[in-house]
A = this chain, B = another copy of it.
Amino acid sequence: MAEAALDDLIEALRRLPGVGAKSAQRMAFHLLQHDRDGARRLAQALQQAVQRMHHCARCHTFTEAEVCATCRDPQRDARLLCVVETPADQAALERSGSFKGLYFVLMGRLSPLDGVGLADIGASQLLQRAADGGVQEVILATGFSAEGEATAHALGEALRTRGLKVTRLARGVPVGSELEYVDLGTIAHALADRR
């Protein structure tokens, strides 16, 4: 089409995860044709977020403040530190309403194939954070994918050598599921970890 502003927009939208050439084109046409106000708001939101959001000095999640609201909350139990991969995982744990401790957000997980090593997930910050004297137990709540398990294993080793108590979320049959439809690996774990 040789319209620079339109091509630039489509190119910029393609950098979003999960957006290919066709989707980017559709998004650009939609914004220009039906939602110019939405385009302006998105531009502003992007600028504001890039400018204001940085990492919490204690738990590494995104925050506008020096230390995030969760870390500042005096009601939380500072003896428990839960390690999660992403802010979305943290939000899921919060929604469950069953954890009142503090968090450390890795903002990723070990993935040697993608070149993501211990330094990229803030392992040294985690070790420093966990050794602040107040933490009595570190709960590894990374995912149960291969990469999440590898991350939990590597971090667990490092934390244990510093004398910290380390636990992992339980594996087992999800609430509400019929055994018949649960995968075999999960059933094997649920049997092994029976209580």
Residue of B nearest to A11 (CB): B45
Contact at B41–A50, with CB atoms within 8 Å? no
**Which bucket holds chain A's interface residue count?**
35 or more
Interface string of A4-29 (1 = CB under 8 A from B): 11101101110111100001011111
From the candidates B6, B27, B40, B48, name the one contacting A62 in the complex (CB within 8 A): B6
Distance in Å: Cβ of A121 to nearest Cβ of chain B: 11
The answer, yes or no, to whether A2 is at the interface (CB within 8 Å) is yes
Contact at A64–B3, with CB atoms within 8 Å? yes
Interface residues of A (CB under 8 A from B): 1-6, 8-9, 11-13, 15-18, 23, 25-33, 35-36, 38-53, 61-64, 68-69, 86-88, 91, 107-108
